Amino acid sequence: MKSNRLFRAAALLCAALTLCGALTGCAATYEERTAFAMGSVLTARLYAPKEDADLLFDRITEKVNAADACLSATDPSSEISAVNAKGSANASAFTRKTLGDMVMLCNMLNGTLDVTVGAVTQLWGFSTDHPRLPSEEELRAAQETVGLERLLIDDVNGTIVLGPGQKIDPGAFGKGVALDEARDALQSKAYSAVVSFGGSVLLFGTPKKGKSWTVGVRDPFSGPNDYFASLSLTPDKPDYTGFVATSGSYEKQFTEDGVVYHHILSPLTGYPVETDLVSVTVYATSGINSDALSTACFINGLNGETLRWLNSFGAEAVFVYQNKEYYVTDGLKDAFTLTDDSFTLKTYEE
């Protein structure tokens, strides 16, 4: 098991470095730093002198690790794990506020995401080395615990209280929260940066006067270092921040009796969502929004409701299908460049 973890870490490191390599701004010099946090590789390209880059990266990793210590559902010492284990526990103001933000997003996205789905996700075990297909009886019992109305965030007493058997799973939001924390760390210095983390990217500041950030969009039918398109994202002000997050069925999956099961579960059924999509990439101005929207759009599919969600958040998206068609929302069309002509543009009318 240890060797498997090391292999995954090495693969993630390679993917993260390549992703940052697909982000170009051509500032004069930069410093690159890498760490392992929240089960993923965290890589930062900092356009700063070495000493300041060291301090900034220390601050970034400090804030990301602090967030993980509060929100992780797999670390038994975290605040969320304590809530899950006891059904009720004290929690910091950060944990209560962030969980409240997650609940608000779940409601705004019409229940497509549900942070109380933890009992279901635990059954599938996608966060472990041994995912499995739960029995219908197991899933039925776990599904009965899902429901935001039974979750209580008590700011007066500083506690989080769950319904019977309920578990919190912040997985659809966690990497985005971490990148929001990285943005906050970067705001203390006037340096541009690119931070990549578990398939999500933060663009901070301006790469160079008059230049754009270029972000590779992963080819879901190839390796983690391959891209079928790019996005040229132009900062509109010096303190610009943009976030790019991708959710894809290729990220975690297993096969049983000839059936492929992926990790993006529907809170309504407890099973992997059935869709002809293979990935959704979202560009937004907040990490938690980009992370949540990429998963919600994948689950909900391309339709009028999904496009209205994106519009309400001021976000844009790229949808990729199993037949290698893709759809780009209007706000990204001028920024999108196809680099693999085996993909074809999909038309959509509401």
pLDDT tens by residue, 294-323: 999 999 999 999 999 999 999 999 999 999
Domain ranges of the chain: 2-67+173-345, 76-161
* The pLDDT of residue 21 is above 60: no
The two three-digit tokens of residue 50, written as one number: 């070495």
Give the C-alpha distances (Å, rounded to integers) separating 220 from 95, 241, 247, 347.
33, 26, 10, 20
What is the predicted pLDDT for the residue at 18?
36
Which of these CATH numbers, 1.10.3980.10, 3.60.15.10, 3.30.450.40, 1.10.10.10, describes 76-161? 1.10.3980.10
Structure tokens belonging to residue 249: 């069925």
Alpha-carbon distance of 309 to 273, in angstroms, equals 19
Cα pseudo-dihedral 310, 317, 252, 261, rounded to 10: 70
Check: CATH 3.10.520.10 for 2-67+173-345?
Answer: yes
pLDDT single digits (tens) 117-148: 999 999 999 989 999 999 999 999 999 999 99
Mean pLDDT for the stretch of residues 189-201: 90
**Mean pLDDT taken over the chain:** 90
